[in-house]
Amino acid sequence: MAVSLVLASQSPRRHELLKQIGVAHSQQPVDIDETPHVGELADDYVVRMAVEKARAAYKGEQVVLASDTCGVLDGEILLKPVDKQDAMAMWQRMAGRDHDILTSICVISGQGEHWRLCRSTVRFRAFDRALFERYWQTGEPHDKAGGYAIQGLGAVLVANMQGSYSSVMGLPLFETAELLQQAGVPVWQEGQ
């Protein structure tokens, strides 16, 4: 009998990434407070978010996978922009520079809680206000950590990247597959 996997997210990107590696799953969005604690380091924040999301969805009978992603520039956590002005200020600071994208995953099963943290580095292109204005108008950056989607229209903002592309998208597939297999969830399932 196949192990039932719950993805504690409503993200279509994470759903598609799991499908890409043939993992059958259902989705169960969770609602938690995602406010960083005062003085909390980005690494600690993103791990805490993935763990709290997984715990919120875990009912004791299935395997739960949760993930969280944030950007980091000069030690500051880059969350989803609150408005256009916030996005523009963020992009201007990131332009022509490297920033880190941290993604943490947490798997909870009858075997316990296990998590991983992945770090990738992205360099943005030089700031072109007209281009960034047009990008904001697409609506794509409104709900993205760091204010862009590397897998979408935001790809033209990225000059280069080091690390895991799928992690920057929100779910590091290598690490996810390892944790899921340890919990008894196979990859490359029939019918996926």
Q: Which residues belong to the active site?
A: 68
The two tokens of residue 15 are 């759903």
Quote the CA–CA distance of 101 and 169 in Å, as a whole number: 9
Q: What are phi and psi of 22, to 5 degrees?
A: 70, 40
Quote the CA–CA distance of 44 and 113 in Å, as a whole number: 16
Q: What is the largest CA-CA distance in the chain?
A: 55
Q: How far is CA 14 from CA 37, 89, 159, in A?
A: 26, 27, 24
Residue listed under structure tokens 């520079």: 97
CB 41 within 8 A of CB 81: no
Query: What DSSP element (H or E) covers 160?
Result: strand 158-162
Question: What letters, b where the CB count within 10 A reaches 16 and e where it falls short, cover 7-33?
Answer: bbbebebbbebbeebebbbeebebeee
DSSP, res 96: T
